[in-house]
Structure formats: C-alpha cells, structure tokens
Amino acid sequence: HRRHPCHTGKSATHVQGPPAQSNASREKLRNFDAQIVSNANKLLIEGRKTFRFDTFGDEAFWGGQLQLHQAIKGAALGGVGPGISPTTALTLGLKVDVDALPQPLINQLKQGKVNLNDPATTLALLRLNAVVGLKGFFVGNDLNTVGITCAICHSTVDNSFAFGIGHRLDGWANRDLDVGKIVAAAPDLSAFANLLGVSQTTVRAVLNSWGPGKFDAELVLDGKAFNPQQVTDGVVTGTN
C-alpha cells in the first residue's frame, strides 16, 4: 500500500500565485475599463444617430427623382395633390417620436388643438425630426426635398401617446408601414416606369398591391414588376 505524498511527513510544496497588484496597477486597470465603457457608449450614441437620422444622400432619389416631398406638401403649400396630413401619414404606417415633440405641442395634442388633417402639421413634425425614418430638408420654411433613414422600416413606437405616436423602439420591424402606397404617392415614378418599360399607372398599381409591412425588392432592386418564377421576400404580387 503506497502512502499519499501528503502522508510522508514532508512539507508540501507551496505554489506561488501571481504577485499581488499594487493599488496603482488596480487603479490603472479601472481607468482603462472606464475608457472602454466610455468609448462603447460613445459608439452606441453615434450609431443610434446614424441609424435614426442619416439618409446617406438618398434624398437625391426620393426627393430629387420621385419628388415625394411635393406629394407631402400638397398643392396648397406649393406641392401637388392634397398633401399628406399626420392622419394620413399614420394611416400609411409612419410613426411619430413623442420624445421629439416640445411639451407645449404635446399639451396642445392632448387638448385636441392641433389640426392633424393639415399637411402643414406634417411639415412641422418633419422640422422637429419627429417622423420616424423620414427626414425633411428645408430651405427657409419650404420643404425642399425628403430622404429616408434605416429607421423607417426598422423602428416603430410603443404607442404610449396614441396609436402611431410614442417612444421609439429601434430595431423593431414596422409592420404597419405601407411602403408601396407611400412610394405610389410620389408624383414622378418615371425612374421605375422607364426601367420596367411600362407606364407609371402600372407601376402605381403594383406598388398599391403590396400592403402594409411588405416590400417587394424585385421592383426596386431587380427592375421587375412581376416574376412568377421566383418568390420574393414580400410575396405580395399574387402571381408568385
């Protein structure tokens, strides 16, 4: 029977651990950790700002080519058509960030003193960057063009104030958004019509067929109105 080394009467070898850190070293590590956290928070804030408000220059398309801002303004404000009021915008699935609204405006909304059927109110909301994912560019008081940001499809609100009005929920899919009807409201769809070799009326019919929460990438990215050979992400044309 072999005895365990511990039972030999010899003292066990003492294993040395790492040297104890000095107070200065520990403080240095704490400061370094604080820098990491500070940098991470800074990147998060910058990324959120980009996600919410950066159009990456796409106003050249949405405003410059499609003239969507003219449809938003309406004829009474120098655009075309009836304009898009807040009521209409909410019906189309666009959302309003309540945190972007000044308190006096919130009070007026609660008292029913804001005309939500007036496109001029939509312009006021755009000036406040309060329409989630939709960014207006103004020259004086005139809406000169409009662009969209990542948030238009990838954010919604919690409806804490009213349906479609509340605190932002970044990263949540906006399943109420009717992209097709919003694009169809633009006065100039020649960019699509010329690519497809069809009339703008046909393009509008396709856009209006999508429905809320759907986006058929074939029309915008592949230049095809209908493709019975391939099921798209949207699956909205009825011919797939």
- What confidence tens digit (pLDDT) does each residue in 166-223 have? 999 999 999 999 999 999 999 999 999 998 888 999 999 999 998 999 887 777 655 5
Residue 231, pLDDT > 50, answer no
How far apart CA 154 and CA 37 sit, in angstroms, is 26
Nearest CA-CA partner of 87 in 145, 9, 175, 165: 165
Q: What is the distance, to the nearest Å, from the Cα of residue 193 to the centroid of all Cα atoms in its chain? A: 27
- Report the predicted TM-score, pTM, of the whole model to 2 decimal places: 0.79
pLDDT at 23: 73
Of 20-29, 94-103, 118-127, 223-232, the range with the lowest mean pLDDT is 223-232
d(CA 170, CA 153): 10
Neighbours of 161 (CB within 10 A): 18
Contacts 24+ apart (CB under 8 A), 101-104: 101/128, 101/130, 102/128
What letter does residue 238 receive in the DSSP assignment? S
Residue 104 burial (C-beta neighbours within 10 Å; 0-12, 13-18, 19+): exposed
| Structure confidence by residue, pLDDT tens digits, 7-64 | 555 555 555 555 556 677 667 667 888 888 889 999 999 999 999 999 999 999 999 9
226 — pLDDT class (breaks 50, 70, 90): low
**Neighbouring C-beta atoms of residue 119, cutoff 10 Å:** 25
